[in-house]
């Protein structure tokens, strides 16, 4: 909304107020629309994780690590940081989002500078996938067990900060052209239950955030929450039941194609 007051603040303090202030909306989409396919296949290297329920049943060490940290992530201690970040790192590694084959790294709690309303502030991602110095994916934990917050809005702020960061990197490396548009891949995790986001960051949006002005062009963020058989038990069950796990692993696999340049 053009008349909403815009103030300089850390990206981790963003709420729906900032989304309104910068003409940003979040729109849910079904799997076919969001991923561009009706099928969410699970590759063979995930069979161990997709077909065995507990840590005692899996044969591979990395599958054991995913399930062990999943259990820890789903048992947070009130007022303390949970194991969601540790779980997300294990899962993204197992899924092939990072590693030698793809030439990408995982970083936890990376601090990113955010230029907003003419002032330098900061935001911190819980996990990000990086290609050398450039950020390709951001993941934010829903920390409702610690305090009330708005992780979806925080994720959008982190996406904007990430594109600002990537443009600064490109400038330092001597690129002649800065990114005029980037669709950042994002994930919000609560326990072991993910929600996926595609966040379009345009030059119009970057300029508006930097100057603290209202962009004429709206930004529409696409969101997909995996469809499971018992949606009312989403937070309690997460990825523990095999039927949920297969759906969520399929979503993670389909989402990999958006984590690129």
Determine the pLDDT at residue 18: 95
CA distance linking residue 40 with residue 25, whole number of Å: 26
Strand partners, 106: 129
CB atoms within 10 A of CB 250: 20
Q: Which of 155, 113, 247 is nearest to 193 (CA)?
A: 247
**Which residues touch 17 (CB under 8 Å, ≥6 apart)?**
4
Question: What are residue 123's phi and psi, to 5 degrees?
Answer: -140, 160
Residue numbers in the chain where pLDDT is lower than 70: 1-3, 145-146, 176, 261
pTM: 0.94
Three-state DSSP at 58 gives coil
The order of strands in the sheet holding 134-141 is 24-28, 219-224, 193-202, 181-190, 134-141, 127-131, 105-108
Determine the pLDDT at residue 260: 79
CB 82 within 8 A of CB 242: no
Domain ranges of the chain: 11-40+102-258
pLDDT digits (tens, 9 = 90+) for 90-105: 999 999 999 998 899 9
Q: Is 37 left (phi over 0), alpha (psi -120 to 50) or beta?
A: beta
CB 88 within 8 A of CB 72: no
Q: Which of 154, 153, 182 is nearest to 170 (CA)?
A: 182
**Which residues touch 63 (CB under 8 Å, ≥6 apart)?**
48, 49, 52, 94
**Which residues touch 161 (CB under 8 Å, ≥6 apart)?**
11, 112, 113, 114, 123
Question: What are residue 234's phi and psi, to 5 degrees?
Answer: -55, -50
Q: How many helices (H) and strands (E) does the chain have?
A: 9, 9
Determine the pLDDT at residue 176: 64
Determine the pLDDT at residue 261: 63
Rounded-to-10 torsion of CA 122, 213, 21, 110: -20
Determine the pLDDT at residue 247: 96
């Amino acid at each position: 909304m053009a008349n909403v007051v815009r103030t300089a603040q850390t990206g981790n303090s963003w709420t729906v107020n900032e989304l309104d202030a910068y003409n940003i909306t979040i729109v849910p989409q079904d799997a076919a629309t969001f991923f561009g396919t009706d099928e969410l296949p699970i590759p063979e290297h995930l069979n161990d994780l997709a077909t065995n329920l507990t840590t005692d049943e899996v044969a591979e060490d990395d599958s054991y690590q995913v399930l062990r940290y999943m259990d820890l992530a789903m048992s947070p201690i009130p007022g303390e940081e949970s194991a969601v970040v540790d779980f997300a790192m294990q899962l993204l590694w197992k899924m092939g989002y990072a590693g030698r084959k793809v030439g990408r790294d995982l970083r936890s709690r990376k601090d990113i500078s955010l230029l907003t309303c003419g002032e330098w502030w900061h935001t911190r991602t819980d996990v990000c996938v990086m290609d050398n110095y450039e950020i390709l994916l951001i993941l934010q934990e829903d920390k409702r067990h610690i305090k009330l917050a708005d992780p979806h809005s925080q994720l959008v702020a982190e996406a904007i900060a990430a594109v600002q960061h990537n443009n600064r990197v490109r400038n330092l490396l001597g690129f002649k052209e800065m990114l005029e548009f980037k669709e950042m891949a994002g994930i919000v995790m609560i326990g072991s239950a993910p929600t996926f986001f595609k966040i379009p960051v345009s030059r119009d949006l970057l300029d508006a955030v930097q100057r603290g002005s209202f962009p004429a062009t709206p930004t529409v963020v696409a969101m997909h929450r995996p469809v499971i058989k018992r949606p009312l038990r989403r937070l309690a069950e997460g990825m523990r039941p095999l039927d949920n796990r297969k759906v969520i692993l399929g979503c993670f696999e389909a989402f990999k194609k958006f984590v690129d340049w």
